Amino acid sequence: MLDHLSLGCRKLPASAAFYRQALAPLGYRLQRETADEAVFGVGEDWSLFLYQAAATDESLVGARMHVAFRADSRLAVERAYAEALVAGAREVIGREPDERPQFGADYFGCLFHDPDGHTLELLTRAAR
C-alpha cells in the first residue's frame, strides 16, 4: 500500500496553489506549507508532498510516471478536472473525463499535466 508521494516543483508557491485548487473537489487540503515544501492530504493524512526543486535539477518528470487520485464520484472527477484546467493544467488530448472500458467496466477518469509536467490522473469506479 502506498502511503505518500513526493514531487519536485520548479516554483513551489505556484504548484501549491495549483494543487490546492485542483484537488479541492476530491477533499484534499493543504496541511502544511513552508518555504521548501507543501503537504496535502484528506483528513489528517499527509499523502502528497511538494518540494522546491534545486536549480540544478534538470528534469523533474520521470518517463511514464504519473500519479492517480481516486475520487468518490464521476461528478468529483469532472469538477476536479475543470478546476485543474482553470488552475493551469495542460490537457492530454483524448483523455478528458470519460468512461474507458479498457481499464474496467466501471472506470471513469481523465489525464492532464500539472504546471511542472507531472502527469496526473483522476478516476473513480463509482457507478453513475
Q: What is the mean pLDDT of residues 67-86?
A: 97
Give φ, ψ of 36 to 5 degrees: -115, -10
Q: How many domains does the chain have?
A: 1
Q: How high is the mean pLDDT of the chain?
A: 93
Instruction: Give the H/E segment covering residue 16.
Output: helix 12-23
pLDDT band (50, 70, 90) for residue 13: very high
97/121 Cα distance (integer angstroms): 10
Q: β-strand 48-52 against 90-91: which pairing, if any?
A: unpaired
The enclosing domain of 92 has a CATH number of 3.10.180.10
Q: Which residues of 55-80 are buried (b: 16+ CB within 10 A; e: fewer)?
A: eeeeeeeeeeeeeebebeebebbbbb
The sign one gets for the Cα dihedral 93, 99, 102, 103 is positive
Q: What is the mean pLDDT of residues 59-63?
A: 74
Domain, as residue range, for 81: 5-54+61-124
Look up the pTM and report it. 0.92
10/37 Cα distance (integer angstroms): 12
pLDDT in tens, 80-125: 999 999 999 999 999 999 999 999 999 999 999 999 999 999 999 9
